[in-house]
């Protein structure tokens, strides 16, 4: 059983309706099993002795119309050993809940507010989640992806995972079935900082391309040759 000693934030942007999860841990490839997000439905982060079906089934229950609290209650009833789980859920109305089983290791705990839930285990101290909370609440003028990154940076600066650093992930969905942002640092000595660097690269070389993709409202997309050339996606003909 994979154990993700982790700090994470699951959130909803009230202005845009976007959902996202950002997470970091001292295990490779945290983006593989922790963040679960669906456009118009919700965001779930599952960690500690991780059970991916908390995220998989949780999104199904949210889509069926259950609230975050109802999904948490159902999850705790279904799980064989909730005492070793930790997870957070944010629903389409901004209701946020978290659960930390009493067999999580080291310092563990969570904090929730309107539109966000922050949780961590095997942390240096409670400062990690409290600084993430302060950051998220004070950055409402930024995009959701940027707020999540800032929160992770604040958590890492406050101590983060007691065992060290290895991987980080940022996943955000807007209106489409595909993600708006899906960036991962699978193995790095300073993954949160590296995730921020990759995000800055993506702002210039990836996100403009994402803006041209087909959408539910515009199935043809809005492909632009000039922008594609500027991003290096096309070569000028000789």
pLDDT band at 114 (very low <50, low <70, confident <90, very high): very high
Q: Residues 4-23: what's their mean pLDDT?
A: 92
Mean pLDDT of the region 7-35: 96
132 Cβ neighbours under 8 A, 6+ residues apart: 7, 9, 118, 151, 152, 154, 155, 158
- Give the model's pLDDT for residue 1: 47
CA distances from 195 to 24, 26, 157 (A): 10, 15, 14
Burial 62-87 (b: 16+ CB within 10 A, else e): beeebbbebbbeebeeebeebebbbb
Q: Which domains does the chain have, with CATH numbers?
A: 3-205 (3.60.20.10), 209-238 (no CATH)
Per-residue pLDDT tens over the stretch 149-159: 999 999 999 88
Tokens of 175: 């209106």
- Nearest CA-CA partner of 55 in 72, 35, 41: 35
Between the CA of residue 97 and those of 72, 73, 110, 230, what are the distances in Å? 8, 10, 9, 43
Q: Band the pLDDT of 160: cuts 50, 70, 90.
A: low
pLDDT tens figures, 198-232? 999 999 999 998 999 999 999 999 886 666 666 66
Q: How far apart are CA 176 and CA 199, in angstroms?
A: 20
| Percentage, residues of the chain above pLDDT 70 | 89
pLDDT at 142: 98
Average pLDDT over residues 16-34: 96
Split at pLDDT 50, 70, 90, the class of 140 is very high
Q: Does residue 91 have a pLDDT over 80?
A: yes
Q: What is the mean pLDDT of the chain?
A: 92
**Helix, coil or strand: residue 32:** helix
Read off the pLDDT of residues 49-84 as tens digits, 9 standing for 90 and up: 999 999 999 999 999 999 999 999 999 999 999 999
161: DSSP letter = B
DSSP 106: S
∠ CA 128-97-182, nearest 5°, is: 70
């Amino acid at each position: 059983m994979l154990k993700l000693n982790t700090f994470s934030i699951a959130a909803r942007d009230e202005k845009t309706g976007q959902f996202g999860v950002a997470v970091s841990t001292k295990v490779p490839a945290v983006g593989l099993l922790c963040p679960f997000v669906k456009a118009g439905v919700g965001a779930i982060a599952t960690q500690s002795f991780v059970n991916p079906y908390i995220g998989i089934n949780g999104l199904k229950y949210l889509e069926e119309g259950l609230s975050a609290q109802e999904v948490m209650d159902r999850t705790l009833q279904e799980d064989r050993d909730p005492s070793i789980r930790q997870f957070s859920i944010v629903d389409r109305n901004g209701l946020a809940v978290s659960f930390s089983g009493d067999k999580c290791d080291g310092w563990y705990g969570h904090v929730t507010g309107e539109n966000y839930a922050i949780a961590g285990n095997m942390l240096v101290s409670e400062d990690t989640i409290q600084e993430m909370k302060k950051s998220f609440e004070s950055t409402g003028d930024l995009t959701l992806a940027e707020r999540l990154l800032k929160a992770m940076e604040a958590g890492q600066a406050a101590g983060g995972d007691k065992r060290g650093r290895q991987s980080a992930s940022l996943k955000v969905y807007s209106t489409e079935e595909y993600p708006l942002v899906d960036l991962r640092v699978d193995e790095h000595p300073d993954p949160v900082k590296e995730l921020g660097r990759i995000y800055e690269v993506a702002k210039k070389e990836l996100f403009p391309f994402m803006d041209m993709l087909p959408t539910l409202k515009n199935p043809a997309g809005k492909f632009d040759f000039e922008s594609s050339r500027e991003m290096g996606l096309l070569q000028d003909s000789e």
